[in-house]
Structure 1
Amino acid sequence: MFHAIWKQKKRVIGCTILAGLLGVGYAFLAPRVYQVSSVLRPAAINELDALNRSDVYRLPPAEALAKVGMQLDSYEARLGFFRANPALFEAFQRPGRSLEQSFEAFNRNAINLMLPDPKKSEPLNSSIRVEMQYPTGIDGVAILNGFVDYAIAQERSQVGADFKVIVNNRLNELKGKIDAARSNYETAKAAKIARLLEDDKVKRARLQDELSALHLQLKMERTSHLAELDEAISIARAVGIRTPTAPSAMGADASGRSSQVMRTVVTNQKLPLYFMGTEVLEAERKALQRRTNDDFTNSRVAEISKELRMLDVNREVEVLNDRKNEDIFLQNVEPLWAEEARLRSLNIDMSTLKLVTVDRQAQEPLNPIKPKGALIIALSVGAGLLLGILLALITHFAQVRRENGPFSVTADRRLPLR
């Protein structure tokens, strides 16, 4: 076989040279494909410290990197970047294609995202690699770096929007709690004023009832006293007592004896009114009959009048109604005010928030990754060599078959026998 191949070495060499020339032609004439890459790593802790210390939005560096990675892998983000930068993608646009179809031609295999392996927890494994392959005539470096910056900006904007929504939700929640406390205070205040006014009303009614009963009592006492005076006057007239006297004096007068002896009578019994004499009793009766008001005869009437006057104005109700700033009287709202003031004072500049660190930006590649000239030439030479050997073997076996055919058997029969 080797001898047969060697006999046809020119054919083998020719096939090898021809295949090699075809490989060289393809290697030099095929369109060049280049590859650029960018590496993202977690941001430093201090870059996200202001956001995390706000107690509103927690975003560890590893989670921020994962969010940016999701943004880089997002169809919407890629389409948005494609729409925002039409000048960079003119080579992908064809007449008769829609924007989405042109984007599909770019997005199909252009950008690849290599995320960290979730099974590995080493810090060195926490990185995202973004690769892009593009043909000649495309500014792949500008596209990849621009897309990375666009994805980071989009995620930063999303974080800012989420932060704002959370802050507004908490402010609304605090406002609701403060409004509830204010409503409770107003309800309690109205209830307290109503209780105070009701108590005053009840007390005023009781004092009015007491005053009316006291007036009736004084009137009845005056009427009773007038009746007693009338009775006493009639008795005094009957016994002839005109001026005040004592029972002992009446005894002396009755006996008709004069005496210069002064008598002292000690008794613990009240003397009947008729001993006052008709003159005094009649004078007292006239005074009682001319009286129009008995209030001065009882000190309780003045006390009731004083208490009624005090009930005309409830100073506590007046003070409650005259409050200017009622929020300072709310209960358990100081922590809510403090939290509201803290949330309103949060001033985190989201435009400078650094979510990730771009460890390596895309750079202009030195050589294309496709086609690989040396490999193509080597493979074409090898394929040509194999093809030449195959043709040489086929030719050799065809020759052997012809030589071992029917004509070769007849020729052997003519040979002399030994």
Structure 2
Amino acid sequence: MSSSFRAPPVPSAGEIDLVALFKVVWEQKRLLLLVIAGVGLIAAAYAFLATPVYSVSAVLRPAALNELDALNRSEVYQLPPSEALIKVGASLESYDTRLAFFRANQKLFKAFERPGRTLEQSFEAFNRNSINLVLPDASKKNSLSAYIKLEMNYPKGIDGVAILNGFVDYAIANEREQIAADLQAIVKNRLNELKGKLDSARSSYDIEKEAKIASLQEADSTRRAQLQDELKALRTQLKTQRSDRMAQLNEAIGIARSLGIQKPTTPSSLGESVRSGASSVMRTEINNQQIPLYFMGVEALKAELTALQQRKSDDFTELRIAQIAKELQMLATNREIEVLNRRENEDIFLAGVQPLRAEVTRLNNLNIDMSRLKLVTIDQQALEPLSAAKPNRLLVVTLGLLLGAVIAVCIALVRHALQVAR
């Protein structure tokens, strides 16, 4: 600057002379233009030379009710659409799912690999800086429906659309496989539970059957023993009666012999024969008193005695013995026990297991095509961006020029203050 430059008059304390400041700055307009141009060039260089960063996003919404109807109607696995969306969102946010997708698609992530880094370290850089899960704001009650938004920022040279869409499909497929595995495990556990109940019913049936057979056998044994005791007692009784009868016959024979009764007679006939001797008159006597046994005569009594002595069994004299023999014969084989032992398909006799069998049949015939199970609706797939998200060249250059202007004004004011101080 020229030494003839005169500083404007200093305003009084507490006042700022804007006109004077403008003149000070304007007098250094060359410096002002150089600084603004320099900073602007730096900003422009950054804006045009920096690696462009692109941004893509995908939006997921709950699936329709009919998409999950087959799974929910199985009565084994209940999955409302909102819960299915949460499951897929959890899979998208899962570190393991992202790492598994990274490992399965390493060709898509070549640009993230750096020398000296392990695969996990390269993935960590991608996972931390590139992909982000956005959930709806719970405080906003005017949201029409639930959704999940997945955003990805990536530099030029990376197929971000393929990565994001592929990752969404991978997470959905992974969650579908997990649900299929859970469904299979639940069905297997339910079948094992039903099998245990059926086995318990069979065991209970076997115990009841054995108890019934034992009860029938015990009843038969008891009845058989009772009949044999009765038969023995009857035979003893008959033997005693036969002995008593033989004793009576011997006594009656002695009396008949002493009275000279050889043929059967009656007291009145005996009296007539004694008085008149032989008579050809036959009389009939009606008497309600029992005629003594010796009136049968010696011949008849000896004949009966001989028959009793030659008798080997008294069973035919008692009708009850034949009945006992019949009952013993029937007890020799219990047809109910035979039928119980001959049962081949005993499952049909199990009580209260029809619902269990129906459930087993239903679970065995359960056929859900998990490959067609639609967990979520992809409302918006990632599309190739039309322009880079970063840097915004116009904004960067504009901010650079404004920053240059501020720096230039500050430099001009500082220079002026230093000159005034001299």
Correspondence for 1:214 = 234
After superposition, what is the alpha-carbon deviation per residue over 1:36-95, rounded to whole angstroms, capped at 9, x for unaligned? 001111111111011011111111111111110000000000000001011011111122
Correspondence for 2:15 = none
What is the distance in 1 between the residues matched to 2:155 and 2:332? Answer: 98
Are residue 99 (structure 1) and residue 119 (structure 2) matched? yes
Are residue 188 (structure 1) and residue 208 (structure 2) matched? yes
Q: Does the 8 A contact of 1:211 with 1:304 survive in 2?
A: yes
Correspondence for 1:333 = 353
Unaligned 5+ runs, structure 1: 403-418
Instruction: Read off the aligned partner of 2:60 and give its amino acid letter.
Output: L
Are residue 143 (structure 1) and residue 176 (structure 2) matched? no
What is the distance in 1 between the residues matched to 2:281 and 2:305? Answer: 34
Change (3 A) 1:132 1:336: same
Change (3 A) 1:93 1:356: same
Change (3 A) 1:123 1:286: farther
What is the distance in 2 between the residues matched to 1:204 and 1:39? Answer: 87
The one of 165, 170, 193 aligned to 2:185: 165
Secondary structure, in 3 states, of the residue corresponding to 1:48?
Answer: helix
The one of 154, 173, 187 aligned to 1:134: 154
Are residue 300 (structure 1) and residue 320 (structure 2) matched? yes
What is the distance in 2 between the residues matched to 1:124 and 1:312? Answer: 85
**Normalization by structure 1: what TM-score?**
0.94
Unaligned 5+ runs, structure 2: 1-20
Instruction: Read off the aligned partner of 2:333 and give its amino acid letter.
Output: V
Correspondence for 2:64 = 44
Q: Does the 8 A contact of 1:236 with 1:274 survive in 2?
A: yes
**Normalization by structure 2: what TM-score?**
0.93
Change (3 A) 1:260 1:242: closer
Instruction: Read off the aligned partner of 2:220 and give its amino acid letter.
Output: D
What is the distance in 1 between the residues matched to 2:310 and 2:277? Answer: 42
Change (3 A) 1:258 1:288: closer
Are residue 248 (structure 1) and residue 268 (structure 2) matched? yes
Correspondence for 2:391 = 371
Correspondence for 1:86 = 106
The one of 352, 367, 380 aligned to 1:347: 367
What is the distance in 2 between the residues matched to 1:396 and 1:374? Answer: 33
Change (3 A) 1:44 1:123: farther
What is the distance in 2 between the residues matched to 1:112 and 1:341? Answer: 46
Q: Does the 8 A contact of 1:117 with 1:125 survive in 2?
A: no
Q: Does the 8 A contact of 2:273 with 2:279 survive in 1?
A: no
Correspondence for 1:204 = 224
Shift of 1:118: 3.5
Seq. identity, %: 59
Q: Does the 8 A contact of 1:174 with 1:336 survive in 2?
A: yes
Correspondence for 1:62 = 82
Correspondence for 1:316 = 336
What is the distance in 1 between the residues matched to 2:340 and 2:281? Answer: 77
After superposition, what is the alpha-carbon deviation per residue over 1:126-184, rounded to whole angstroms, capped at 9, x for unaligned? 11110000011111111101100000000001111111111111111111111111111
Correspondence for 1:179 = 199
